[in-house]
Amino acid sequence: MTDKRKVRKAVFPVAGLGTRFLPATKAVPKEMLTVVDKPVIQYVVDEALEAGIEHLIFVTGRGKAVIEDYFDIQVELDQTLRERNKKAELTLLDGILPPAGTTSFTRQQSPLGLGHAVWCARELVGNEPFALLLPDMIMQGEKGCLKGMVELYEQSGGGNVIAVEECAPDQAHKYGIVGVGDRIGEGYKITGMVEKPAPGTAPSNFYINGRYILQPEIFPILATQERGAGNEIQLTDGMIKLANEQDFAAYHFQGTTYDCGAKDGFILANVAFALQRSDIRSVVEGPLKELVAGLK
């Protein structure tokens, strides 16, 4: 029996060390690196809020206190802006401040994998469905990825929903892959899941892109889940077990995902989001074309 209640809470696993961005991440959490003028985590939070999420749950680690500070009032800055009558800046900061009592933070004391990070949020989530958004992945599309997932969740009557995109078939071995069946709205029924299948064995070329809606029954599964790839507790392994008892659907995201946990994805995200901004595009488009032309 799956839960049909509204998805109110979202979990953001932000405890990772960000070693691929050293030395910057020695002092700055990777989630706080900026794409144009907003931290990566802000894009992901905005996506969650667009989808109707009411409570933000951050699973943090040592050195991540700045994330908690970011989603709070900076008294000295606020006072200085008011004294200088910086109304636009004050409005901007007010717009990113969550209402009091709608953010929670818990620690993942040991880096035991995504499945373990999700399990660390169990007491804050409670016995209700929740969204899970990987903070490295930021997305561009006509409709937010999680918003589309919530719509599919409501159309399908509950259950679990995983967002997917298509990759080249010869790249499927790099990702978590789902098998798909009958069409449901903007997605499909999931017929199977496999983490990084051997080349030529993938059930499809639909890869999991870092967005999930899961039922709370995942928590007791993760509590006893054995370590898998990388000697970590893998979320996919837990979802495969949950799929034996509950329905899973795949939401086919029609947009572009940038992996900001990798240097190439981070740079491309900065370019893509800058070109989307009317206040910046006119300034950077010409120089970008000149830079690319100079490489030929």
pLDDT, tens digit, 9 for 90 and up, residues 182-223:
888 888 899 988 888 888 888 888 999 999 999 999 999 999
pLDDT, tens digit, 9 for 90 and up, residues 79-93:
999 999 999 999 999
Q: Counting every residue, how long is the chain?
A: 296
Q: What share of the chain is helix, strand, coil (3-state, %, to 5)?
A: 40, 25, 35
Q: Mean pLDDT across the stretch 96-116? A: 90
pLDDT score recorded for residue 1: 41
CA 124 from chain centre, in angstroms, equals: 18
Give the global pTM.
0.92
Q: Mean pLDDT across the stretch 3-15? A: 89
Q: Which CATH superfamily is domain 9-261 in?
A: Spore Coat Polysaccharide Biosynthesis Protein SpsA; Chain A (3.90.550.10)
The CA distance from 102 to 82, in Å, is 25
CB 207 within 8 Å of CB 172: yes
pLDDT, tens digit, 9 for 90 and up, residues 26-53:
889 999 999 999 999 999 999 999 999 9
Q: What is the mean pLDDT of the chain?
A: 91
